[in-house]
Amino acid sequence: MDYSQLIKTEAKKLGFLSCGISKAEFLEDEAPRLERWLKDGKHGKMAYMENHFDKRLDPRLLVPDAKSIISLLLNYYNPLDQLDGAPKISKYAYGKDYHHVIKDKLKQLFQIINNEIGEVSGRVFVDSAPVMEKSWAVRSGLGWQGKNTNLISKKAGSFFFIAELIVDLELEYDTPVTDHCGTCTACIDACPTEALTPYHIDASKCISYLTIELKDQIPTAFKNKMDDWAFGCDVCQDVCPWNRFSKQHNEPLFSPNSEVINYTKKNWEEITQETFNIIFKNSAIKRTGFNGFKRNISFLKE
């Protein structure tokens, strides 16, 4: 039996957009780039990025006897927009927290692999460990890393999550695709905080970092540069020509929370801790906490 094809077929059945497989090995090309990025402080105050440097670059240190990285994409694109004038929330956070949704699917896929192939050891990953997910997705042929540093697919754009199954099973490996950014600089030109240069991001200037990862006050240097984003930012994806191929996701759990879509600017500015806890009980927006979310909205008002 072709185990690789079996895994890809079952991944599709579970709703994944696509699945690619690469060999678990040391990321030789990425090592100097990651080291330079960290040394230059481009990770801002995300101190955790400095941890487990070796494991980030070699999944065999993360998962004993790892042989294959199964990379998976799950579409979250939704054409619906919030009300005009409301503080903006990134599309990926419209519905249920993707960590839980994807982890459940990965566990199902892992169970299928064990049922159909035999005892396979490994781990599932969704943003939860030092895994260079975009690098593995590129090696697995799922797209190329664009000038905005996001993974981009010719067929589906970039509004998708990336997840991995790292297993001790040898499989048939896919090959990378070519870069199709060409001479386009739409993402770089549109970035409100000038966080992008071709194929590089200064995370300390990125609106997603400022509104989610940064726990301190947002520096005043970014006043009037936030483009009304209160949680995350989609600008570099919204302007990417490849996202004209994005299609509505088919995951019910990613359906937009009605408040996210229908709340007015006034609703958001007057939100209470109790309402925040109710609306975002199962949302990725919980990550900022109520105080962080209020900080972001206040910064946009000032």
Any idea which residue has 């970092």 for tokens? 209
Condensed to tens digits (0 to 9), the pLDDT of residues 274-301 reads 999 999 999 999 999 999 999 999 999 8
Q: How far apart are CA 98 and CA 74, in angstroms?
A: 9
Position 1 scores a pLDDT of: 59
261 pLDDT band (50/70/90 cuts)? Answer: very high
Q: Does residue 71 contact residue 174 with C-beta atoms inside 8 Å?
A: no
Q: What's the token pair of residue 88?
A: 């903006």
The DSSP secondary structure of 36-47, one letter per residue, reads HHHHTTTTTT-G
Q: Does residue 135 have a pLDDT over 70?
A: yes
Q: DSSP 3-state assignment of 192?
A: coil
More confident residue, 78 or 127: 78
DSSP H helical segments within 83-209, as ranges?
A: 98-117, 133-139, 186-190, 207-208
Q: Give every CB contact of residue 242 below 8 A, 6+ residues apart in sequence.
A: 146, 152, 153, 154, 157, 158, 180
Q: What is the mean pLDDT of the chain?
A: 96
Average pLDDT of the segment spanning 205-212: 98
DSSP H helical segments within 191-288, as ranges?
A: 207-208, 235-238, 258-262, 265-269, 273-279
Average pLDDT of the segment spanning 203-211: 98
Q: Does residue 85 have a pLDDT over 80?
A: yes
Q: Identify whether 127 is a catalytic site residue.
A: yes
* pTM attached to this predicted model: 0.95
Q: What's the token pair of residue 45?
A: 């105050």
48 pLDDT band (50/70/90 cuts)? Answer: confident
128 pLDDT band (50/70/90 cuts)? Answer: confident
249 pLDDT band (50/70/90 cuts)? Answer: very high
Condensed to tens digits (0 to 9), the pLDDT of residues 18-44 reads 999 999 999 999 999 999 999 999 999
How many percent of the chain have pLDDT more than 70?
100
State phi, psi for 5 to the nearest 5 degrees. -70, -35
Q: Does residue 302 have a pLDDT over 90?
A: no
Selecting among 29, 40, 104, 127, the annotated active-site residue is 127
127 pLDDT band (50/70/90 cuts)? Answer: confident
How many percent of the chain have pLDDT more than 90?
96
Q: How far apart are CA 197 and CA 178, in angstroms?
A: 20
Any idea which residue has 């490994």 for tokens? 122
Q: How far apart are CA 204 and CA 190, in angstroms?
A: 17
Q: DSSP 3-state assignment of 166?
A: strand
Average pLDDT of the segment spanning 181-206: 98
